[in-house]
Amino acid sequence: MIIDFNAHAGAWPEQHISVDKDRLLHLMDESGIDMAVVSNIGEAMGGGSGTDLKHERLIPFHTVRPDTDIKSLNGHVKGVRVYPTYHAWGFSGSRWANLLERAEGEGWIVQVYLRLRDPRALLQQVALADVMQSLSDAIESSCYVRLVITGMNFFEAESYLPLLRRKNVWFEISHLQHPMAPLDKLARKIGSSRMLFGTNTPFFYPFVTTFRTMHSGLSQEEMNRILSGNALSLLDM
């Protein structure tokens, strides 16, 4: 079984992205993916539109911007997604504190997106290093909220190993592309039980991450954890 912890659907004309539910499911089928955690990219980045995400194979997460009314969010989801390099959150402020309070009360996972595309193709409003320093400080006081870090490459992950080793933090692997055998190397540093399979669909073609994981050199037990076991446990499924 394979669970993709990093997929989007919806329309974002500025980035020439338009993926409806049927197209997403087709991409999943082509790549051998059984289920996907998904949210609307149009809602996240504005200027686009969402899409119907109701399907037995899709696990919807709320998109939360700094101006989102936290109290208005439906509690019947598994988690929320924030994009702090594209939206100025300020992790020491009341907006972040309110989100964490709601997440703790609902049992939500908070997925933190640091990168969707290469910054040369999609400019970031806040530098990743600044976000990570602020987030690292904030996480010290949010040990009861489960966080998933998404959009970090191998060298960035190496720079924040103490954060990634925390018991309430998981690492999603879609941007883990270099150096050679990065999955194996990072698994030795933080443990395969802290890693989640993800594809960054539709920004990356999903089969690439599937192929890379299957040929990573990890043991079958480690691959099973990354491909689905950790996600099933995290999602309480």
Domain interval for residue 121: 3-234
155 is written with which tokens?
């060298």
Q: 17 or 80: whose pLDDT is higher?
A: 80
Q: % helix / strand / coil in the chain, to the nearest 5?
A: 40, 20, 40
Please report which confidence band the pLDDT of residue 117 belongs to, taking 50, 70 and 90 as the band edges. confident
User: How many Å apart are CA 206 and CA 33, to the nearest integer?
Assistant: 9
pTM for the predicted model, two decimal places: 0.94
Segment 129-154 mean pLDDT: 85
Distance CA 7, CA 40 (A): 9
- Buried/exposed code over 169-188 (b: 16+ C-beta within 10 A; e: otherwise): bbbbbbbbeeeeebbebbbe
Task: Provide the domain count of the chain.
Answer: 1
pLDDT-above-90 percentage for the chain: 56
**Domain CATH for 202:** 3.20.20.140
